[in-house]
A and B are shown apart, each in its own frame.
Chain A
Amino acid sequence: MALDKATVAHIAGLARIRLSEAELEPLTDELSHILTWVEQLNEVDTSGVTPMASVAAARLPMREDEVTDGACREEILGNAPRTARGFFVVPKVIE
C-alpha cells in the first residue's frame, strides 16, 4: 500500500516520534515500499486459520497473589533523568 505524507505524519504522531518535513518524504517512500512488499501475504489462503500470538503455551501460568517485591523506590528512580521528592518529574500536564 502506498502511504501519503499525511498518513506517515499521523503514524509518527501516534508513535510520538517528531519528524521534520525533510524526513517525511523519504520515509513515506520507504514505508510504502516495505508495506507493498509484505502484502505478498495476501497470496496465502488463511481462511479458518487461527492466528498465532506465541509458540509458548497458550495458557499463562498462575501463581499465588502475593507481594514478591517492593520497597525499592530508590532503585526505580535511580535512572530517571529528572526526579524530585521521590517522584518522576515531567512537564506540567494539568493547567
Chain B
Amino acid sequence: MSDSSLLALTLAEACTGLAQKSFSARELAAAYNDAVKVAEPLNAYITPTPERALAMADAADQRLARGEALPLDGIPIAVKDLYCTKDVLTTAGSHILDGFRPSYESTVTDKLWQAGAVMLGKTNLDEFAMGSSSTTSWHGPVENPWRRAGDNRPLVPGGSSGGSAAAVAARAALAAIGTDTGGSIRQPASFCGIVGLKPTYGRCSRWGVVAYASSLDHPGPMTRTVRDAAILLRAMSGHDPRDSTSAPVPVPDFEAALTGDIRGLRVGIPREYRVDGMPGEIEALWVQGVEWLRAAGAEPVEISLPMTKYALPTYYIIAPAEASSNLARYDGVRFGLRVEGDSIDEMYELTRAAGFGAEVRRRVLIGTYVLSAGYYDAYYLKAQRVRTLIARDFVTAFEEVDCILTPTAPSAAFAIGEKSEDPIAMYLNDVFTVPANLAGVPVVSVPAGLSDDGLPLGLQIIGRAFDEETVLRAAEVLEAAARFRHLPSFIAGGGR
C-alpha cells in the first residue's frame, strides 16, 4: 500500500489490515514516522520517537507472525507530553521540567504498550495543560491543520491537548491520547474535526500523568472515529491500585456497545446551554444534531441544568487551588530547571519565576490566594459547595434521560493570538465542557459539521457515570448521520 493510503486508514481498519498481513507494523510505523516529519510546521510534537516506533513495530510484527497478536499490535499512537514515559523526555510544555526523563512509565501508556501499540512521540500542549489554545507551551504554539476558507492566518488547534488533536487531524498520528481537566480533549477535538472522549473520572488511571488539578484530570483517547475511541479506551482503562481515585470496576468491551440502535433512547437537551453570543451556526448544528438522533429513533427531551452558568467560575477556583498545591513540587531540587540563589527561598523563587509561564503563574497565584487563611471559606469551600450542586444537576437529569446532547465549544478555532489578551475571554471557551469535569461524567465530542468559514464544529454527548457504552453508541449514530468527511487544508501524505 502507498503511504497516503496507509495514513488514511482508521485505527479499526489498520487493526484488520495488520491481522490480514496486508501491510506490516513496520511499514505503518515508517509511514507515520515520515508523516510526523512532514507535519513539523504544525509543531504538534515536542519529541518524536521514530526509532522507538520502529523497534516497537518490529516486536509487533514478530507477534503477528507467530499468531500471538495483541489487541493494538502495531498501532502508532501519539502521547500528550503530560504522560510520563520512561527514559523519554517529558516536558508538560514547561521550561521548569527542562531535561526531565522519568524513571517510570504512566499506567495508561504502559497499558497501551502492553497492548502492542507503537509510540510515535510526545505531543505539544498548553503549559501544564492550562489553556484552551495550545499557545502557552515553552516549546512554541501548535498550529491547527485547518484554515478558514479564503484566510491564510494560522489558527489554534484548541487546547490543552492541541498537539495530539492536530497530529490526528493532519494524519501525523493514527490516534492519540490526551487529558481533559476542563475540556482539554474535547475542545481541541472539536477545533480539529476529530473525536475526543473524556471518560468517567476513575475509569483511566492518573498515575504517572503530570498533575494539574487532580480531582478534575481525566486521561482519554483522541481518534478519527467513534469506533477507534471505543477500541483505544478499552486498552487505557482499568483499576490501578497506584491511583487511589481509580475505580475498581470491570472494563466492558466498548466496541460491542456500538450497535447503531438508539431507538427509545431519551436524549436531554439542556436549555441553559443556549448562551448569549453563541454563533447561529452552532445553534443550527445543535438543532440538526437533535433531528439526526430523533430520526434514528431517539426521543429528545428538553431538560434543565440550572447550575450551568456557575460551572466556569467554580472551575476557576477549584482548578487553580489544586494546581497551586500540585505545582509546589517544582522547586529546583529534584528535577528540571534550577536557578541558583543565595538562600533556599531565593533559589525556589528564582527557579519558579524563570520556569513558569504567564498563565501558569496566574493560576498558581489565584490558587494560593483562594487557599490562604481568611479566604479559604469564601472562595474554595464555596466553590466546592457549588460543585456539589452542579454534580447534583446531572444526577437529577439522568433520572429523566439516558444522555445529553450539547455543542462542544461556543466557537470554531480562532487565530493564534486572537484571544490571548484577556484571560477570561480564553476561559469562556470551556463553558460547555467544564461541567462534565466537575461532575466526573463521561462525554464524547464528535465532528458534526463545518462553520460558515469552513472550520469543523463538534457536538458532545454526555452520559451517566461509568456508562461510556451509551455515550459511545449515541455518538456513533450521530457520527453516521453527520457524515463528516471533510479534510483539513494540511494533511501529511496528501489526499486519499
- Given A16-B349, A19-B353, A40-B310, A31:B387 Cβ within 8 A: no
Judge if B334 is at the interface, Cβ distance under 8 Å: yes
Given the interface pairs A37-B313, A41-B313, A41-B383, the reply to whether A93 lies near B344 with Cβ below 8 Å is: yes
Partner of B389, one of A34, A44, A75, A79: A44
Neighbour of A52 across the interface among B244, B369, B391, CB < 8 A: B391
Q: How far is the CA of A46 from the CA of B324 in the complex (A)?
A: 25
**B270 to chain A: closest CB distance in Å?**
18
Q: A34-B423, A51-B385 are in contact. Are A16 and B345 (CB under 8 A)?
A: yes
Smallest CB gap from B345: residue in A: A16
B59 at the A/B interface (Cβ < 8 Å)? Answer: no
Interface pair B424/A55, CB less than 8 Å apart: no
B76: min CB distance to chain A, Å: 28
* Of B228-236, B257-265, B357-365, the one touching chain A: B357-365
Q: What chain B residues lie within 8 Å of A60 (beta carbons)?
A: 244
Measured between beta carbons, the chain B residues less than 8 angstroms from A80 are 333-335
In the complex, the chain A residue whose C-beta lies closest to that of B320 is A34
Q: Which residues of B contact A90 (CB under 8 A)?
A: 333, 344, 347
Q: B365 touching A8 by the CB < 8 A rule? A: yes
**Interface pair B313/A49, CB less than 8 Å apart:** no
A48 to B46 CA separation, bound complex (whole angstroms): 48
Spell out B's residues near A (CB within 8 Å). Answer: 99-104, 201-202, 215, 241, 244-245, 247-248, 307, 309-310, 313-314, 316-317, 324, 331-338, 340-350, 352-353, 356, 361-362, 364-366, 368-369, 372, 379, 381-389, 391, 423-424, 439-440, 465
Assuming the contacts A16-B352, A18-B350, A41-B314, asked whether A52 and B388 have C-beta atoms less than 8 A apart, the reply is yes
B328 → A minimal CB distance (Å): 8
Given A30-B423, A50-B388, 4 other A-B residues pairs in contact with their CB atoms under 8 A? A17-B356, A38-B383, A55-B465, A91-B340
Contact check, B383 vs A27: say whether CB atoms are below 8 A apart: no
A92 / chain B contacts, CB cutoff of 8 Å: 344
CB distance from A16 to the nearest CB of B (A): 4
- 18 A-B residue pairs with Cβ-Cβ distance under 8 Å, sorted by A, are A3-B369, A7-B369, A17-B349, A18-B353, A34-B362, A37-B313, A37-B424, A44-B310, A44-B386, A46-B382, A49-B389, A52-B387, A55-B202, A81-B333, A91-B342, A91-B343, A91-B346, A93-B343
CB proximity to B under 8 Å, residues A32-76: 33-35, 37-44, 46, 49-57, 60-61, 63, 72, 75-76
Q: Which residues of B contact A55 (CB under 8 A)?
A: 201-202, 215, 391, 439-440, 465
A33, B338: Cα distance in complex, Å? 32
Q: Which of B103, B310, B369, B381 contacts A31 (CB 8 A)?
A: B369
Q: Which among B101, B215, B307 is the interface contact of A54 at CB below 8 angstroms?
A: B215
Closest A-B pairs by Cβ, 5 of them: A55-B440, A51-B384, A81-B338, A46-B385, A79-B335
The reply to whether A72 and B103 contact each other, CB–CB distance below 8 Å, is: yes
Q: Distance (Å) between the CB of B439 and the closest chain A CB?
A: 7
What residues of B have a CB within 8 angstroms of the CB of A31 in the complex? 362, 365-366, 369
Contacts of B389 in A (CB 8 A): 44, 46, 49
Q: A21 vs B239: C-alpha distance in the bound complex, in angstroms?
A: 49
When A11-B372, A18-B350, A79-B335 are in contact, do A91 and B344 touch as well, CB less than 8 Å?
yes
B384 touches A53 (CB 8 A): yes
Point out the residues of chain A lying under 8 angstroms from B248, CB to CB: 61
Residue of B nearest to A88 (CB): B333
Q: Which residue of A lies closest to B99 (CB)?
A: A79
Q: How many angstroms between the C-alpha atoms of A72 and B372 in the bound complex?
A: 36
Residues of A within 8 A of B (CB): 3, 7-8, 11-19, 27, 30-31, 33-35, 37-44, 46, 49-57, 60-61, 63, 72, 75-76, 78-82, 88, 90-93
Q: How far apart are B112's CB and chain A's nearest CB, in angstroms? A: 22
Distance in angstroms between the alpha carbons of A14 and B440 in the assembled complex: 31
Q: CA of A34 to CA of B344 in the docked complex: distance in angstroms?
A: 31
CA A79 to CA B335, docked complex, whole Å: 5
Chain B residues contacting A75 (CB-CB under 8 Å) are 103-104
Query: Could you say which residues of chain B place their CB within 8 Å of the CB of A41?
Result: 310, 313-314, 317, 382-383, 386
Give the docked Cα–Cα distance between A82 and B337 (Å): 11
Are A82 and B338 interface neighbours, CB within 8 A? yes
Q: Closest chain A residue to B369 by CB distance?
A: A11
Q: Of residues A16, A61, A63, A81, which shows the largest number of chain B Cβ atoms within 10 Å of its Cβ?
A: A16
Please judge, given known A-B contacts A17-B365, A31-B362, whether A81 and B336 are in contact too, CB under 8 Å. Answer: yes
A40 to B386, CA, bound (A): 11
Instruction: Tell me, rounded to whole Å, the shortest Cβ–Cβ distance linking B284 to chain A.
Output: 29
Q: Is the CB of A15 within 8 A of B382?
A: no
Cβ-defined contact, A17 with B353, below 8 A? yes
Q: How far is the CB of A39 from chain B (nearest CB, A)?
A: 8
B212 CB, min distance to chain A CBs, angstroms: 15
| Contact residue among B372, B383, B439 (Cβ-Cβ distance under 8 Å from A14) | B372
Quick one: which of B335, B342, B350 has the most chain A CB within 10 A? B335
Contact partners of A91 in chain B: CB under 8 A: 340-344, 346-347
What separation, in Å, do the CA atoms of A95 and B188 have in the docked complex?
Answer: 52
Give every chain B residue within 8 A of A57 (Cβ-Cβ).
245, 247
Residue among A17, A18, A31, A78 having the largest count of chain B Cβ atoms under 10 Å:
A17
Alpha-carbon distance A52/B102, docked complex (angstroms)? 32
Are A38 and B379 also in contact (CB < 8 A) when A44-B386, A52-B388, A90-B344 are?
yes
